[in-house]
Amino acid sequence: MTVLVIIIAVLLFGLVILIHEGGHFVTAKLCGIQVNEFAIGMGPKLFHFTKGETEYSLRLFPIGGFCAMEGEDEESDNENAFEKKPIWKRALVIAMGAIMNLVLGFVFVMILLIPQQKFMSTTISVFQDNSATQAAGLQIGDRITGIDGYWVNTDKDLNFTLALANPDDVDLTVQRDGKTIEFSDVKFHTMTAQDGSQMLALDFYVMPVDKNFGTVMTKTFDDTVSTIRMVWASLAGIAQGRFGLKDIAGPVGTFSMIGKVASQSVQNGGFQLAMENMLYLIMVITVNLAVVNLLPIPALDGGKLLLLLIEKIRRKPLNRKIEERINIVGFSLLMALMLLVTVNDVVRIFNGTGIGG
């Protein structure tokens, strides 16, 4: 059963890639841009055929894909070349990959929510015995809206921020009877994690939200936004040094994680729980792919959008050689980072911690 779950997860991961590249492909076709090749996977071709002007291929390594458009990376006299189209069309084609990943993430969130009987809020309903938060002054009916400066709108936000918080010094913001009240330096009780570290112990329960069409749609949107913010906050944490190489996973680490989640879920709760955990993991991956791809870094979609913005401001494109050099440098740095992350993933499989572990 574990193998079946892993196969399904890999297929879902392939769907993430297909949706991303399909966003580029369909939008390019609608904008009249010639697509020379549409590929899922990287490396040697396993299967391919040509229809019209486009070659469609399935490649060996399921770690990416591409939509190769005429005139995207080279000069072309073809009237249907990417570079011949208006800036807004080119920007739409580039952005649509990430947009479709966000749409897919929205769909996955909805699929995960529909079987649930009720949803969790951020409003306190019951305190546990000897509650530290109750002793600090929080009351039943308080709606938590902020933790350590991070805006809290959903239970996902609540769990994310509390997981990163220092148990001895938590700043809480709540809404009570229409008023905003702040509690500084709240000290939570702690519990011991599997790795021996101390982590915050939640000492209250939140009120449930009844399930209906309206709450399903609202919760789906809010949870998708929460996931986007979680990914963005994690990237910011990496940039600020809060998270290190041990917290980053590449393709090898992702597939290893999929295998571990599948195995543990099947052992603990059977096929249904395994599928729910897999779907949640893939949902985070597709949102992560969207956010990372929109970063203004050369060789990523965000970097291409930045160059189009510069072209719009200058009213003329950058010199082709300068643009090529920017993309080469960006691509080289990206490949170096991917190599480092992949090596770290492989080392982590053997020592559990990665490079330096």
The answer to whether the CB of 203 falls within 8 A of the CB of 128 is yes
Asked if the model's pLDDT at residue 15 lies above 60, the reply is: yes
Question: Tokens 């080289």 appear where?
Answer: 332
pLDDT grade, residue 121 (50/70/90)? very high
Q: Rounded mean pLDDT of the chain?
A: 84
**Higher local confidence (pLDDT), 135 or 336:** 135
Section 250-278 average pLDDT: 66
Each residue's pLDDT tens digit, 55-77: 999 998 877 889 999 988 788 88
Can you tell me the mean pLDDT for 112-140?
A: 92
In terms of pLDDT, which residue wins out, 252 or 8?
A: 8
Reply yes or no on whether the pLDDT at 304 is more than 60.
yes
Residues 6 or more apart whose CB falls under 8 angstroms from that of 322 comprise none
User: Span 87-104, mean pLDDT?
Assistant: 96
- pLDDT band for position 252 (50/70/90)? low
Q: Judging by DSSP bridges, how do beta strands 170-176 and 143-147 pair with one another?
A: antiparallel
Q: Return the pLDDT at 274.
A: 75
For residues 60 and 42, what is the distance between their CA atoms, to the nearest angstrom? 6
Looking at residue 115, its pLDDT comes to: 92
For residue 309, give the nearest of 91, 99, 74, 97 by alpha carbon.
Answer: 91
What radius of gyration, in Å, describes the C-alpha atoms of the chain? 23
Q: What is the pLDDT of residues 195-232, one digit of tens each?
A: 667 778 888 999 999 999 999 999 999 999 999 998 88
Give residue limits of the domains in the chain: 2-112+282-351, 118-210
Q: How confident is the model at residue 51 (pLDDT cuts 50, 70, 90)?
A: very high
Query: Mean pLDDT lowest for which of 45-54, 151-160, 346-355?
Result: 346-355
Reading the block at residue 112, the tokens are 């995960």
- Does 136 score more than 70 pLDDT? yes
Range with lowest mean pLDDT among 16-25, 96-105, 308-317: 308-317
| Residue entry with tokens 């979680």 | 230
The pLDDT assigned to 256 comes to: 61
pLDDT of 43 strictly over 80: yes
Q: Within 10 Å of residue 88's Cβ, how many Cβ atoms?
A: 11
Whether the predicted pLDDT of 350 surpasses 90 = no
118-210 — its CATH code? Answer: 2.30.42.10
The pair phi, psi for residue 54, each rounded to 5°, is -115, 135
130: left (phi over 0), alpha (psi -120 to 50) or beta: left
CA distance linking residue 211 with residue 21, whole number of Å? 35
Residues designated catalytic? 21
Write down the residue that tokens 């702040």 correspond to: 182
Residue 143: pLDDT band (50, 70, 90) is very high
Choice among 164-168, 184-188, 253-257 with the minimum mean pLDDT: 253-257
Say what percent of the chain tops pLDDT 90.
47
Region 167-181 average pLDDT? 92
> Taking CA 211 as the corner, what is the angle to CA 106 and CA 174, rounded to the nearest 5 degrees?
80
- Give the model's confidence band at 320: pLDDT under 50 very low, under 70 low, under 90 confident, else very high: confident
pLDDT given for residue 96 in this prediction: 96
329 compared with 289, residue with greater pLDDT: 289
Token pair recorded at residue 287: 């949102």
pLDDT for the residue numbered 241: 67
